[in-house]
Structure 1
């Protein structure tokens, strides 16, 4: 049994992670602002992670074996957490994102066409940190989500006082109504109604992960391994927007209709005109067995069809 703290953990794969950690016999504490209570048997600390004094007061003298941070989006939040948990934990796992590799949001090293990117493409040990930027502004943060995650990883990597690992998640699907992004529903509804899907002329493939698989990987990262640094988390198999739509069409008995977007026009989610796929080789070498996207995606589509009028 380990003492594990989850910051956030009130919805989707974070909620599932808390449930699975508790079911596995670990002593789990959830920290959030109090809007959602954790399951019975899970300790609850109410604090705003952006308020350092309140966070430290809520923690008191409590220590943990591992902290899993589900809701760190900026270098300012990372710096607060690094100070608050220094001396209180020996390991810290942050949920990050595939978007750190988006070449549209920063100048990144180029990779050969069609090559999924490895973790070293974005090295947090050398990434510049700008805590003076307006991270507290929601509009700014939404527009700079990828950069906020990159800089948060950098803060923990360079100045934390504990072993740090980041899990860079692929696009998460599954869970029916729990899937709060609504991106899978976007496609299912349009295909079922015959509405055109806006795509790039040469859409590039990307990677996905089922929300249960991501919860399993985070549990593994917190309790069964001691790796540090970034780790890509994605199921096997690349899909572009047309392949994804074709699979949905096969499930719904409808054929997708497409419209090619012009320069500067917004395409549907998961249509990318730039490289946007990760390599999961490192996680496999460390011992995590990934599923294939094609194995679980039909079930994920069926879950959404069952919860939406299409």
Structure 2
């Protein structure tokens, strides 16, 4: 029986990850601030991951085979985690993001080497505790968090760079609903004048992939995304089948755009995951189901 620690993970694909680990027979410890209860069957520790003493105190003498960090957003958080979990785990899996590639402008799907954490400059003195700053620098925060964990590693480190996630009736982002509301009401949907496609991943599949990494030995960054990019049109077409109506797009040069439209390419190459032994499905295989689940009509389309 493996000892697994999950930092965060109380919602969306983190919740599904915990369920899969329990199904595999792992003993799971969940650490969060106590604002929400974790799934049944786990050991629950309450701590502030931004407070090193709080985290150490909650953990006591516990050690783990694998730690999953679902809520590491800044280099400062990674720095604390690196110190606290040094000697406590052999493997540390951080949930990262496609947004680490925000400075890459190639239209070709990007490989992991496009962002080498060892070359990323880290600024621990930046105002990472400020929520608005953290939100505005989301991709950069993840890049720097990866860099902290990659340098002079205290354990085997993995950064799972997750594509935009779709599916589930508990999608808290509101992005699919954003489109559904506008399509129902016949309201225009703002998109950039040159709207680029992006890679996505099904919520159930990213949970599967994360659980799979627990039993692997590879380290470093790995892209996690379905085969096949999706455009705003593709996603809206799936929504139209559920709610009726027709999407009306409004190209804009400046100003706010809809959540699944991009002024630059967000395509990732998942060849590394395939070489390691995990094959993602094509987005066309699950897109309709993912949208139906989020809009509450998933059962009738199964």
Name the SS for the 1:84 alignment partner: helix
How many aligned residue pairs are there? 297
The answer to whether 1:153 aligns with 2:164 is no
Are the counterparts in 2 of residues 165 and 229 from structure 1 also a CA contact under 8 Å? Answer: yes
Provide closer, same or farther for how the CA distance between residues 37 and 250 of structure 1 changes in structure 2, counting only shifts above 3 A: closer
For 2:33 and 2:239, the matched residues in 1 are separated by: 38
Once the two structures are superposed, what CA deviation does each residue of 1:245-279 show, in whole Å capped at 9, x if it has no partner? Answer: 223223433221111112x2121112112121111
The answer to whether 1:249 aligns with 2:240 is yes
Q: Given the two structures, how large is their TM-score scaled by the length of structure 1? A: 0.93
Name the SS for the 2:246 alignment partner: coil
Large movers: runs of 4+ above 6 Å: none
For 2:286 and 2:116, the matched residues in 1 are separated by: 31
For 1:125 and 1:306, the matched residues in 2 are separated by: 43
For 1:18 and 1:91, the matched residues in 2 are separated by: 17
For 2:45 and 2:5, the matched residues in 1 are separated by: 10
1:129 to 111, 122, 127: 122
For 2:295 and 2:76, the matched residues in 1 are separated by: 40
Name the SS for the 1:125 alignment partner: helix
Runs (5+) with no aligned partner, structure 1:
none
Q: Which residue of 2 aligns with 1:231?
A: 222
1:205 to 187, 197, 200: 197
Following superposition, the deviation at residue 306 of structure 1 comes to 2.4
For 2:69 and 2:4, the matched residues in 1 are separated by: 11
For 2:279 and 2:163, the matched residues in 1 are separated by: 15
Name the SS for the 1:232 alignment partner: strand
Are the counterparts in 2 of residues 82 and 159 from structure 1 also a CA contact under 8 Å? Answer: no
The answer to whether 1:144 aligns with 2:137 is yes
Q: Which residue of 2 aligns with 1:303?
A: 293
Q: Which residue of 1 aligns with 2:284?
A: 294
The answer to whether 1:170 aligns with 2:196 is no
Q: Which residue of 2 aligns with 1:216?
A: 208
Q: Given the two structures, how large is their TM-score scaled by the length of structure 2? A: 0.95
- Greater displacement, 118-127 / 240-249: 240-249
Please report the RMSD computed on the Cα atoms of aligned residues, expressed in angstroms: 1.3
